[in-house]
Amino acid sequence: MAFCPTTGSHGFFATLLALLQIALSIAIAVVVSEVLWTWKGSFNWNPSWWSHTSTNNVCLMTTGGTNLCAFTYVVIAVSLAASVFLLITQLFSRGRGRRCCACCEGWLSLLLTCWWIAAATTATVYGVRADNASVPQHDARTAVWAMGWSEVGLWGLSTILAFVSRRAAKRRMSETELSATLSEGEKRYSRFDSGNRYGDTPFTNRSSKWREARDSYKQRADTAAAAAAKV
C-alpha cells in the first residue's frame, strides 16, 4: 500500500488523487508558460509587471489588462503545496493520528475545491471572452479551464474520501476501546470459570455459582417450610 500499509484503501486512493492533482497542476503550468504567456527580456518580479499585461508581456488567457497567466501560477503553487501535504499525511497510521490527519485533509481538500472552483470559473469566463474576441490559442485556453474543472473534481473526491476516512477511523477507535473494555472484564471475572466447561460468568444464568447459591438457598427455605407444615 502506498507509503504506509496501515492506512488501508484510504491511503491508496488519497495518494492516487494527490498524484493526479500534481500532474494536472504541472500540465496547466506547462500549457500556460509554453503557449499562453510570452514576454520579452527576463522575468520581472515587479508586481506591476507580472500582474498586468503589456506589449512586452502578453497573456492570451484574456483580452483585459489583468495577467491571468501569472495568477494561474499562484493557483498552481497553492494547489501543489496542498497536494504534497496530503501525500505527507499518508505516512501516519490509523488511530487517533489517522483521525486527526483525516480531519485536516478534509478541510484542506474542501478549501482547495473552492479555490479551484474560483480559478476554473475565472479561466472559463475570460477564456470565452478571448474566444469571442478571436484571440489566438483557443485550444490552449480550453485545455486550461478544462483541466481546472478536473482539479475541482479531484479535490472534491479528496474531500469526500477524507471525511469518510475520519468517520471510519472514529468507528475503529470505538471498537478498539470496547474490545479493550471487554477483555479487561473477562480477565476480572476469569476466576468464576474454574470447573465450568461453558465458561459462564456471574452475569450468565446457566450453571453459574451465583445461580447455584440462589437455588441452594431457595431449596433450604422450601425444605424448612415443608417441615413446618408437617408439624
Average pLDDT for residues 64-93, to the nearest whole number? Answer: 86
Together in a domain, 70 and 142: yes
71 shares its domain with 124: yes
Residue numbers of the domain that contains 203: 192-231
Mean pLDDT over 62-82 rounds to 89
| 37 plus 93 within the same structural domain | yes
For residues 56 and 131, membership in a common domain is answered with yes
Does the global pTM surpass 0.85?
no
The pLDDT, as a whole number, for residue 87 is: 85
Unique residue bearing C-alpha cell 471498537:
175
| pLDDT at residue 120, rounded to an integer | 94
Q: From CA 145, how far away is CA 152, in angstroms rounded?
A: 11
In this predicted structure, the answer to whether residue 216 has a pLDDT above a threshold of 90 is no
Residues 4-13 have a mean pLDDT of: 58
Average pLDDT over residues 69-97: 81
pLDDT at 122 over 70: yes
From residue 202, alpha-carbon distances to 184, 192, 198, 207 in Å are 15, 7, 12, 10
pLDDT reported for residue 4: 38
| pLDDT number for residue 52 | 74
Looking at mean pLDDT, say which of 13-17, 93-97, 151-155 comes out highest.
151-155
Domain count, the chain: 2
Stated as kind and residue range, the H or E segment containing 13 is helix 8-31
Do 44 and 125 sit in the same domain of this protein? yes
